[in-house]
């Protein structure tokens, strides 16, 4: 029974180390897990999509499909920045936004050097 308790204490200690040290010490996560891949240069800028199948279908309906990647900054001690893919449809004649698709979170891979 003593060894079971000792194993539980050891696992809890490892979990606390990973939770607090990797999140609060600057550079610890990048050193052990790698740095996140760099963001594209056009982050936050809307670009017209006329080449994909969705973009072509929108043109046929008289709409213009626009998409962008957007970085939402995390709030709080353990929060992370989140990269979000956003899509909207504008009326081709007057430029008003007709529809918006739900946001999708984009996972960034970690690059180990």
Question: Are 3 and 25 in a shared domain?
Answer: yes
Is it the case that residue 79 has pLDDT exceeding 70?
no
Q: Are 25 and 11 in a shared domain?
A: yes
Whether 49 and 75 share a structural domain: yes
Q: Are residues 68 and 98 in the same domain?
A: yes
Q: What is the pLDDT of residue 89?
A: 94
Provide the CB-side half-sphere exposure for 93 (13 A, CA). Answer: 2
In this structure, the answer to whether residues 62 and 93 fall within a common structural domain is yes
Percent of the chain with pLDDT over 90: 36
**Residue 64 in this model has a pLDDT that exceeds 80:** yes
Q: Both 72 and 106 in a single domain?
A: yes
Total domain count, the chain: 2
Determine the structural domain holding residue 11 and report its residue range: 1-33
- 74 and 55 co-located in one domain: yes
User: Among candidates 40, 37, 103, 95, which has minimal Cα distance to 67?
Assistant: 103
Report the mean per-residue pLDDT for the chain.
86
Does 78 have pLDDT greater than 70? no
| pLDDT tens digits, 20-58 | 887 778 777 777 777 878 888 888 899 999 889 999 999
């Amino acid at each position: 029974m003593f060894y079971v308790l000792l194993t539980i204490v050891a696992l809890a200690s490892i979990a606390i180390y990973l939770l607090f040290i990797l999140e609060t010490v600057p550079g610890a996560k990048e050193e052990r897990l790698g740095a996140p891949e760099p963001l594209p240069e056009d982050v936050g800028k809307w670009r017209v999509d006329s080449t994909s199948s969705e973009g072509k279908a929108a043109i046929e309906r008289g709409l213009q499909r626009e998409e962008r990647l957007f970085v939402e900054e995390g709030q709080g001690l353990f929060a992370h920045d989140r990269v979000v893919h956003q899509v909207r449809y504008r009326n081709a004649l007057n430029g008003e936004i007709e529809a918006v698709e739900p946001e999708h979170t984009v996972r960034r891979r970690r690059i180990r050097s």
